[in-house]
Amino acid sequence: MTAQAGTATTPAPQRIALLVFPGIRAFDVSVATEVWGADRRDRGVPPFELRRAAADPAAPVPLTGGLTLTPDRPLGWLHDLTPADLVVVPGVEDPDTDVPAPVLDALRRAHADGVPVAALCAGAFVLARAGLLDGRRAVTHWRLAATLAARHPRTAVEPEALYIEDTGVWTSAGTAAGIDLCLHLVRTAHGAETAAAIARSMVTAPFRTGTQAQFIERPTPRADRDGDALAAVRAHALAHLDAPHTVASLAARAGMSARSFARHFRATTGTTPARWLTAQRVAAAQKLLERTDHPLPEVARRAGFGSEVTMRQHFAAHLATSPRDYRAAFRHPAGSSPIAR
């Protein structure tokens, strides 16, 4: 049915295909279901259509721990006349899991049709078997990174990142990094405020950059004391993003040398001070673009970029878009979004 002239139409929900087959991890299924399967329209989150696609939609799929999952769509749902908008591949419990040939074929067809594909944890091995990681960068759980690289030498495995995208193919590290990737995919499609609203519902951090390390050094009593000082510095930087922070100025506030500060900062956060600060400024600019009508130069100033040109460069590098296009896609009219209140 078509809308009458002059009548506003409601955008169709984003269609998420969760690929299911024996051997997938129940945790990853739960993550995808929690992110895209819950109704949060009362909090301003758009509805999603999450479907569980399997080779035989009539056969329950066994999971570990005595659980079973009931599919509700055939594999053709990934690439039919109205294809899915995103395919999510849960991690497998064992990298040697026998993946059915129809599943691999469906992945290849969906990707060939331009559908983004995202694999959580050891789901990277499934993408690799389908040939989707050939010539691409990828990541998996740090304990499996060497195995993935050895079995699939045409894949450029990056062992430290939390999640990576390469020409429409996403991969993530283990467990919590799958949550990070799913929230990032929401952020990419629907904006920072929508992702933050889902994160608040899940009581999890709304934003970790994909370049952050998978794990940090084991804390020691000394590191704990340094961590308190670094936490205070990060809080100060967040409260004054418009200030021209440097590693030296932040180190002085922590009472450390610049070299010691940088080393302890990475040990406690998994990233460098410069990368952390840039990521926070991008996130702040996203919120300003979504919530306010400030001109772009003012957004750049408040977020700490100093100039619109610098902000535009960082948006291109981190979000593959421009501030102007980001605002056009995700701007909430003043007072219209429960998320922004």
**Ranges 1-15, 65-79, 165-179, 234-248: which has the least confidence:** 1-15
Mean pLDDT computed over 283-299:
92
Mean pLDDT computed over 242-252:
91
pLDDT at residue 208 in the model: 62
Read off the pLDDT of residues 88-105 as tens digits, 9 standing for 90 and up.
999 999 999 999 999 999
> Of the candidates 233, 240, 237, which has an alpha carbon nearest to the alpha carbon of residue 255?
233
Read off the pLDDT of residues 150-179 as tens digits, 9 standing for 90 and up.
999 999 999 888 899 999 999 999 888 899
Under a CB-based contact definition with an 8 Å cutoff, are residues 316 and 322 in contact?
A: yes
- DSSP secondary structure letters along 119-157: E-TTHHHHHHHTTTTTTSEE---TTTHHHHHHH-TTSEE
- Residue 340, pLDDT > 60, answer no
Banded model confidence at residue 210, pLDDT cuts 50, 70, 90: low
- Residue the block writes with tokens 């100025």: 249
pLDDT at residue 115 in the model: 93
Q: What is the CA radius of gyration of the chain?
A: 21
Q: What is the side-by-side order of every strand in the sheet holding 117-119?
A: 73-74, 48-54, 14-19, 86-89, 117-119, 169-172, 163-166
Read off the pLDDT of residues 102-131 as tens digits, 9 standing for 90 and up.
999 999 999 999 999 999 999 999 999 999
Tokens standing for residue 13: 């929900």
Query: Model-level pTM?
Result: 0.76
> Of the candidates 120, 109, 55, which has an alpha carbon nearest to the alpha carbon of residue 84?
109
pLDDT at residue 2 in the model: 37
> Of the candidates 223, 121, 130, which has an alpha carbon nearest to the alpha carbon of residue 163?
121
- Residue 216, pLDDT > 70, answer no
Largest CA distance in the chain: 68
Higher pLDDT, 279 or 268: 279
Tokens standing for residue 286: 């996203």
pLDDT at residue 108 in the model: 95
Tokens standing for residue 66: 């005595």
Higher pLDDT, 171 or 80: 171
Q: Looking at this protein, which amino acid is placed at residue 23?
A: G
Mean pLDDT computed over 71-96:
90
- Residue the block writes with tokens 């990056």: 158
> How many Cβ atoms from other residues are within 10 Å of residue 81's Cβ?
5
Distance CA 315, CA 238 (A): 19
pLDDT at residue 8 in the model: 45
Under a CB-based contact definition with an 8 Å cutoff, are residues 94 and 61 in contact?
A: no
Higher pLDDT, 332 or 170: 170
Under a CB-based contact definition with an 8 Å cutoff, are residues 25 and 69 in contact?
A: no
Q: How far apart are the first and last CA of the chain?
A: 35
